[in-house]
Amino acid sequence: MHSLEGVTRSDQNRALGLSTFAFTVCFAVWTIFSIIGVKIKGELGLSDTQFGLLVATPVLTGSVSRIFLGVWTEQFGGRIMFPLQMLVTAVCVWLLTSVRTYEIFLVAALGLGLAGGSFIIGIAYVSQWFEKERQGTALGIFGAGNVGAAVTNFAAPFLVVAMGWQGTARVYAIVLALTAILFYLLSKDDPAQAARKKTGSRAVSAAEQLAPLKNIQVWRFATYYFFVFGGFVALASFLPRYYVGAYGLELTTAGVFAGLYSLPGSVFRALGGWMSDKWGARFVMYLTFIVSLACLFVMSYPQTHYTVKGITDTITFDFGVSVTLFVALTVILGFVMSLGKAAVYKHIPVYYPHHVGAVGGLVGMIGGLGGFFLPIAFGILLDATGVWTAPYMLMFVLVGVSTIWMHVAIRRMERQRHPALAEEKYLSDVPEQPVGKPQKTVGQANAAERPSLAR
């Protein structure tokens, strides 16, 4: 890994602060359809499946783009890629206001989705500024930019009421363009880019960047991220629609309640990074999955009318989750998902210090695809079953399968791994290696390069 000699604490705080702010703005833009999409749905008379596809389309672009944006960031630096990505997205958001048909809305949504690619740009940029011992916390703080979803849920409904959805989109485009300009003017080249410019050395090629993706370990982490991030994005987009339909709330109230889910699902990512530094990402992942199962089980229960034939009379009663209890469960769910998001990304700069862009890009892409496919699945389930809580049943099954799969994989690796790694706590996973034949995986840091693993 490159040297951090000459990097001051002020430089680190500048890079982290600017990146977190820019990511927050980008994430707010990325989830804008969760609010303006409700208005567009009414104007165009869309079905729930069509609405789910509209909300999910930006997530598709934001997910797939993470692979090449991550590679380009490693090659050209975050100071170039971040503003460029934001300016292109701002143009797409502005052009959105001239669209009139559903099909063209989907095309415009693809361009808007580039806002989601900002995540891997920031991860690759921020990780270059911090030593391994502090990367979990730093990346957790950066990831708290997910709070942009809460900003949209809280603020966008009021902008829509005051200015219409077209005016809201224009405001978002202007703010995004200004953020791009400020980032470029105030930021610095990361230490790796600065060193390359000083020595004239070449950047790592795309083929070398993508080499670690053949490691099954990378794909396992990506699967975990499918729920903790993809599920977060899907629910942040779906909840306003759910509150309006299932509980009959006004859009502004629904947006506030959805924001109560998005807020802890974002700001506590920094806590998740710290917990992963201290206790290990594996512990955090178990905590996330187990609490999520409990919350989703209750959220999945539909409003039900029971008729019981008693000894002398027929007994009837209703059971369902009140809006107060439901909101409380979403807050808890958002909190543990934020911890899980940080835990997944804790290990990438440690295991793959020279491939953060590519590895982080793949993990982010798979997670983002969860945010694409799940809203579509939600819409299909609503149209097919007519049960409002069906999407949460799907989420419960997804978490249950992931928990079992993770536990089985961990137990298998504990039997196979080298005894010297028995006290590994930094990662939620370790490479599968034959006992007695430890081998260095592609991009893995040498044991001597790692921070102390003593408990």
Task: Please state the pTM of the whole predicted model.
Answer: 0.67
Q: Report pLDDT for 3.
A: 58
Residue 205, by phi and psi: left (phi above 0), alpha (psi -120 to 50) or beta? beta
Is residue 441 predicted with pLDDT exceeding 60? Answer: no
Is residue 382 predicted with pLDDT exceeding 50? Answer: yes
Question: Is residue 175 a contact partner of residue 287, using CB atoms and an 8 Å limit?
Answer: no
Give residues with Cβ within 8 angstroms of 330, minimum separation 6: 235, 239, 257, 260, 261, 295, 299
- Of residues 195 and 334, which shows the higher confidence score? 334
pLDDT digits (tens, 9 = 90+) for 118-177: 988 998 888 888 877 777 788 888 888 878 877 887 888 889 889 888 899 999 999 999
Look up tokens 């703005």; give the residue.
Answer: 25
For range 380-408, the mean pLDDT = 90
Is residue 424 predicted with pLDDT exceeding 80? Answer: no
- Confidence tier at 193 by pLDDT (50, 70, 90): confident
How far from 295 is each of 3, 126, 191, 288, 396, CA to CA, in Å? 44, 33, 43, 11, 9
Lowest mean pLDDT among 343-347, 379-383, 390-394, 445-449: 445-449
Give me the sign of the Cα torsion angle 275, 280, 283, 285. Answer: positive
Alpha carbon distance 182, 22 (integer Å): 9
Cβ-based burial of 70 (10 A; exposed 0-12, middle 13-18, buried ≥19): buried
- Confidence tier at 455 by pLDDT (50, 70, 90): very low
- Of residues 202 and 408, which shows the higher confidence score? 408
Cα within 13 Å of Cα(258), Cβ side: 35
Q: Which residues pair with 118 in a beta bridge?
A: none
Q: Which residues pair with 304 in a beta bridge?
A: 319
Give residues with Cβ within 8 angstroms of 109, minimum separation 6: 33, 54, 57, 58, 61, 96
- Of residues 407 and 311, which shows the higher confidence score? 407
Residue 433, by phi and psi: left (phi above 0), alpha (psi -120 to 50) or beta? beta
- Of residues 262 and 228, which shows the higher confidence score? 228
CATH of the domain spanning 10-192+205-449: 1.20.1250.20
Q: Report pLDDT for 2.
A: 54
Domain coordinates in residue numbering, the chain: 10-192+205-449
Mean predicted lDDT score pLDDT of the chain: 80
Residue 323, by phi and psi: left (phi above 0), alpha (psi -120 to 50) or beta? alpha
Question: Is residue 266 a contact partner of residue 148, using CB atoms and an 8 Å limit?
Answer: yes
